[in-house]
Structure 1
Amino acid sequence: MQHDNFLFYIKCDHLSVFCCTLCSLCVLCDLFSSIGGAIKPVVTFTPNWGNILYYDNVTLICDVPSTVPEEPRTYQWFRNKTPIEGNQQNLYIIKSSVKENRGYYQCQTISGDISDPVFLNVEYSYVILQRPPSSIYEGDPLTLRCHHVKDFNSINRKFYKEDQEIQSSESDSTFHIPNIRRSQSGLYKCTQRIHRYDDSTVQERSSVSFISVKELFSPPEIKVTLSRVIEGDEMTVTCDTRLDPLRGGTELHFAFYRDGRTVREFGISNTYRVRSSQLEDSGNYTCEVRTASDTVRKMSDGIYIHIHETFSPLEIKVTPSRVIEGGDMMVRCDTKLDRFRGGAEFHFAFYRDGRTVQEFSVSNSYSVRSAQLEDSGKYTCEVRMINDTRRKISHGLYIQIYDYTAQNIIRLVISGFILSAAVCVTYFHNKW
């Protein structure tokens, strides 16, 4: 067996199938083990401040995500890419020093990957505004702390954003935002009035920090798979967004709306499907994305989706426009097929007073060779696609079959009346 970059070749005969299977499993186990060991650790601080005062204590922790049972590990710590003492998961910094402890920290397990660097800022000052060491994203809780040097008492603390006071307290040294927004990025400042335990002289000190709130995910963009959706088509609407790579594990939920009404509640799928779209599915579609904790929500712009008719509304016509008993009559059912469905085949049926007079066929006309009075009635036609996925029925058209004999009698009576009237008028005119 040869093993090189996870490519291996095993020669087997019929007597060594079991051995080959066992060897293959061993190689796969080795592969998965190697992948598992490559999980990148993360450096965290306790307490969770990225900046501390000289002589403060802090514990750095090398967190290693793992999908296998815990087993003893050996750790290596680095400061500014240089190995430092410490082979345990926790690195304790006692009575910190600006010179010896300030810098970028990383950790690594033996034969494992190395973490991203995290900066620990050790400051020589009376008062500092403390903030978390990691990047701050919209939706995160944020706590700032106005921290003073040891051996001093604090009388009053005030917090400012862009020089506007946002909190004042005699006892609380922290300012908390439970769900920060990007609009809350800016320059934050804290001030403290402090004095030594053994001296009543009060001095006011301040510290500033710029808080930049990163975008967790981009504004969603709604799209439809087909540029032209025809009734009966399967329509798929997607809601696309991009998570920041450093928060790639964040779970997002998606919802879809048509004309402001919910068509699909929040779920983990970013698609909304309509198996057989109908005309009433037309409308202005939007989608909304939120985190599983509902701390961040974003709505897309709208997109109007028009569901086109497979064929135009039916129009029923009769030829001639006046049908006499005994004459020929032809009823037509006219429609137009969508240009993108040019190859589709239609079938037509005709009804009189709701009863079928011609079953479905490819002909769009119904002919009566010698129309009778009983052929009078309300006519409708229906069209369907050959696979019967779409059907439409026309409006009704009342067709009256006229009696030829009765018409002639009426015409003779009217003609006789007109002739008699003319004779009378002429007679009285001559007499007078």
Structure 2
Amino acid sequence: MYFSHTRCVHLSVFCCTLCSLCVLCDLFSSIGGAIKPVVTFTPNWGNILYYDDVTLTCDVPSTAPEEPRTYHWYKDKRPIPGDQQRLHIIGSSVGRDRGDYQCQTIGGDISDPVFLNVTYSYVILQRPPSAIYEGDPLTLRCHHVKDFKAINTKFYKDDQEIKPSESDSTFHIPNITRSQSGCYKCTKQLRYYRTDVIENSDESFISVKELFSPPEIKVTPSRVIEGDEMTVRCDTGRDPLRGGTELHFAFYGDGRTVRGYDVSDTYRVPSSQLEDSGNYTCEVRTASDTVRKMSDGLYIQIMRIPDYTVQNIIRLVISGFVLSAAVCFIYFHNKW
């Protein structure tokens, strides 16, 4: 089997469409204000072979003590048997098990659909079912059908080999970046008893989503006068599906730290002075420090209002002297 660039492009478009739908679903759910349950897989693969077993769990966020619940399960929007928190699927039929799964508790909201892809194949490249964000750990698994002996597992990214292996069927990235998006592929040589060795492969497009946007530094007011309060803000936007990600912010002036990392995205100077002028930048990082992003620089000039007090006194004295001289001149001129 040869590496198909066109197929990867199609996979990329398909993944982007799914991600857009997920964002819309999240926005609609936030409008309703309900806390949705989440369907998770064990093992955590979004695609399995036709004989594999998988357990689906309906995770319900709750601040109240655990209490008995009755669960409802759906496949492709139709009710299926099962009233427990976990649903066990014993893979046997591709058409029967493949589909979108959802769960719900009595009186609660229904979860977003999670797709389980069941494939009749010899080798598949397994990946997590959920969206992948920068900073996430990512594990890919080159999985093959049982009863076959596999050798020479290899992984590729954009047709370049990235991890040759004789026995390890997984490829792990502890902290993935957006630059590592691409078309991933694995190959295996399979031998069934004494038959010839046949190489099989599978591929998947991995799209790494942006966790938060590059920060932009802003200052208020736009024209800072000496003595005024100056507020510098580090502005960034989180992805809606990861809106709860905790971010920390730091601020720098001319390369020096003016405020270390803190959950506040603002830095305040109660009474700005001329020496506070300089080139300011800010940096944002996740609480786990897996993702960091730095803003462009912004030069802030503290303005000074000229001190006219002494000049005004001098002008007043001179004006008074001239006026007095003029009055005296007129008085003595008329007297003479």
Q: CA deviation at 1:142?
A: 0.3
Which residue of the other structure, out of 201, 210, 213, is the alignment partner of 2:196? 201
What aligned pairs does 1:206-245 form with structure 2 within 5 A after superposition? Answer: 206-245=201-240
| Structure showing the higher strand proportion among its residues | 1
1:253 corresponds to? 248
Q: Distance in 2 between matches of 1:96 and 1:230?
A: 74
CA contact (8 A) 2:91 2:97 kept: no
Q: RMSD of aligned C-alpha atoms?
A: 1.8
Q: How many residues align?
A: 286
Query: For residue 293 of structure 2, what is the aligned residue in structure 1?
Result: 298
Which residues in structure 2 correspond to 1:416-427 (within 5 Å)? none
**Residue 96 of structure 1 contacts residue 122 of structure 1 at CA under 8 Å; is this kept in 2?**
no
Give 1:170's aligned amino acid: E
In the TM superposition, what is the alpha-carbon distance from 1:206 to its structure 2 partner? 0.4
The correspondence of residues 175-186 of structure 1 with structure 2, limited to 5 A, is: 175-186=171-182
Asked if 2 retains the 8 angstrom alpha-carbon contact of 1:220 and 1:289, the reply is: yes
- Within 5 Å, give how 1:348-367 maps onto structure 2: 363=313
* Cα distance, 1:365 vs structure 2: 7.3
Structure 2 CA distance for aligned equivalents of residues 364 and 190 of structure 1: 87
The one-letter code sitting in structure 2 at the alignment partner of 1:188 is Y
Q: State the secondary structure of the residue aligned to 2:310.
A: strand
Residues in 1 aligned to 2:217 and 2:152: alpha-carbon distance in whole angstroms: 51
Cα displacement (A) at 1:171: 1.1
Q: What pairs up with 1:50-65 in 2 under 5 angstroms?
A: 50-65=46-61
* Correspondence list, 1:13-412, <5 A: 38-196=34-192, 198-311=193-306, 333-334=310-311, 363=313
**Larger Cα-atom Rg:** 1
Distance 1:112 1:43 in 2: 14
In 2, Cα distance between equivalents of 1:363 and 1:71: 81
Q: CA deviation at 1:333?
A: 2.9
1:363 Cα deviation after fit: 3.8
Aligned partners of 2:49 and 2:91 also within 8 Å: no
- Contact 1:47 1:58 (C-alpha < 8 Å) held by counterparts: yes
- Larger relative helix fraction: 2
Q: Could you list the runs of 5+ residues in structure 1 that have no partner in the other structure?
A: 1-36, 315-331, 335-361, 368-432
> Helix, strand or coil: the match of 1:183?
helix
Q: Which has the higher contact order (CA 8 A, sep 6+)?
A: 2
Could you tell me the percent identity over the aligned residues? Answer: 76
Q: Distance in 1 between matches of 2:236 and 2:226?
A: 28
Deviations 1:239-293 (A, max 9, x none): 1111111111110000011111111101000000000000011111111110000
Normalization by structure 2: what TM-score?
0.82
Distance between the aligned counterparts of 1:148 and 1:82, measured in 2? 31
- Runs of 5+ consecutive residues of structure 2 not aligned to the other structure: 1-32, 318-336
